[in-house]
Structure 1
Amino acid sequence: MAKAKSRVKKVAKKAKRTVKRTARKAAKTTRRKAKKTATKAKRTAKRTAKKAVSKAKRRAQQVANRRKKDLQKAENKVKSMKKALRTAEKSARKRKSDYTKALKKATQTK
């Protein structure tokens, strides 16, 4: 009979604990659900903000790269023009010296 009593006590105690546990569990789940719903909106807001920021960043990078490319092209054009001008001047100088030499020769031999 003593065993039965102790068993009954355990059952009662256990029942008490399970009730508390279930209540706690329910509170936790509701809290979690509330949190989830709250964070979901936050999450979507964050995601859209991130998307917009990354999109803008990408666009800005593309523009910067395009400008850089254009600048490099212009610089190369200037360099090539300078080179062409230098070579043209060189050949003109050479031709001029040849012409002056020929002129000198022609004037000296009379």
Structure 2
Amino acid sequence: MSRPLYYYAKLNENDICYGFESLGKKLNPCPSNMVYLPDYNETYLWKKYDRELKAFGQETYEPSIDAELQEKIEELETENSQLKEQVMELNNTINILNGSILELTQLIASLQSGGVE
């Protein structure tokens, strides 16, 4: 039997819904940048959430292309930073492995020549 999903609208700093999150458990308390939705409903996208009324308004606040591009740039910069960290970690691992390979090669050469140093 599958677990129920709980739906949330993700809100930006202006309380405008910019996306949705589906989770396997109910958040309690709900983070301030999210609003619980009884059902998945994409009509809330780009609508402003009124915290006093606990409801979404009717007016749409779609972002400009510049805002979308800026958001994408920020995502790519974060991903780039994470990839750089992974590359550095992999380079460190490679250096460690190269050192181990060198030691093993020297040990094998020493054993083949008849003596251990």
Does the pair score TM above 0.5? Answer: no
Q: Which has the higher strand share?
A: 2
TM-score by length of 1: 0.44
Question: Which has more radius of gyration?
Answer: 1
Q: Which has the higher helix share?
A: 1
TM-score by length of 2: 0.42
